[in-house]
């Protein structure tokens, strides 16, 4: 599992605001699920060594069957590194019977000031082979677009 998936976007908010949205439970539930999904955080511990469990539910599971069940992806995420307001490193493990989704994927959220906003680059390493690369990069880009919209609405 040496594959790397990546997406980036400039968001019209300062790095501290973007960083805050990465570590706020309600914010994360609102913007992290990509288009076609909704999410619910089951437990939350926003500190190094802490993490969260998110249940992602497909709005139309006929188009994308889930990893955990026909309608859901369940992922346990640990916070490996928190460097305000520059970086959040997460270790994600999907709950799945299919071994092609097994393993720990590392998601690094890098924040860099870019004019009046923040360039957010998400790099996923050790991506399980069962996750389609194009779909994954599209999903990351969708989450970044949701984050931008969320921060524009909530200011």
Q: Is the pLDDT of residue 137 over 90?
A: yes
Check whether 55 has a pLDDT greater than 70. Answer: yes
Is residue 138 domain-resident? yes
pLDDT at 5 over 80: yes
Per-residue model confidence (pLDDT) at position 26: 96
Which stretch of 76-80, 87-91, 150-154 has the lowest confidence by average pLDDT? 150-154
22, 28, 32, 36 alpha-carbon torsion, rounded to 10°: -170
pLDDT value for 96 = 94
pLDDT of residue 32: 97
Looking at the structure of the chain, the number of domains it has is 1
Residue 147: give its domain's CATH number: 3.30.530.20
Q: What is the pLDDT of residues 88-120, one digit of tens each?
A: 999 999 999 999 999 999 999 999 999 999 999
Nearest to 77 by CA among 95, 101, 64, 65: 95
In a domain, 143, yes or no: yes
Q: For residue 66, what pLDDT is reported? A: 82
| pLDDT at residue number 119 | 98
62 pLDDT higher than 90: no
In a domain, 102, yes or no: yes
Residues spanned by the domain of 99: 4-35+80-154
Residues 61, 76 contacting (CB under 8 angstroms):
no
Task: Establish if 133 belongs to a structural domain.
Answer: yes
Q: Mean pLDDT score of the chain, rounded to an integer? A: 94
150 lies in some domain: yes
Residue 117 lies in a domain: yes
Question: Is pLDDT above 80 for 155?
Answer: no
- In this predicted structure, what is the pLDDT of residue 154? 81
- Does residue 55 lie within any of the structural domains? no
In a domain, 145, yes or no: yes
Distance, CA of 138 to CA of 135 (rounded, Å) = 5
Q: In what order do the strands lie in the sheet with 51-58?
A: 4-11, 117-125, 105-114, 87-95, 72-83, 51-58, 37-45
Q: What is the DSSP letter of 3?
A: -
Which residues does residue 78 pair with via DSSP β-bridges, in sequence order? 51, 91
> Residue 60 pLDDT more than 90?
no
Q: What percent of the chain clears pLDDT 70, i.e. is strictly above it? A: 97
């Amino acid at each position: 599992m040496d594959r790397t998936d990546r997406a980036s976007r400039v968001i019209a908010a300062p790095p501290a605001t973007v960083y805050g949205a990465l570590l706020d439970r309600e914010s994360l539930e609102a913007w992290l699920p990509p288009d076609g999904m909704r999410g619910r955080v089951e437990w939350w511990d926003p500190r190094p060594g802490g993490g969260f469990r998110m249940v992602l539910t497909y709005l139309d599971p006929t188009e994308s069957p889930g990893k955990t069940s026909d309608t859901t992806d369940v992922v346990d995420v640990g916070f490996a590194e928190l460097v305000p307001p520059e970086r959040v490193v997460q270790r994600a493990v999907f709950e799945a019977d299919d071994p092609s989704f097994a393993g720990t994927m590392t998601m690094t959220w890098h924040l860099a000031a870019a004019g009046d906003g923040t360039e957010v680059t998400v790099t996923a390493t050790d991506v399980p082979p069962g996750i389609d690369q194009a779909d994954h990069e599209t999903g990351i880009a969708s989450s970044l677009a949701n984050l931008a919209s969320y921060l524009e609405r909530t200011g």
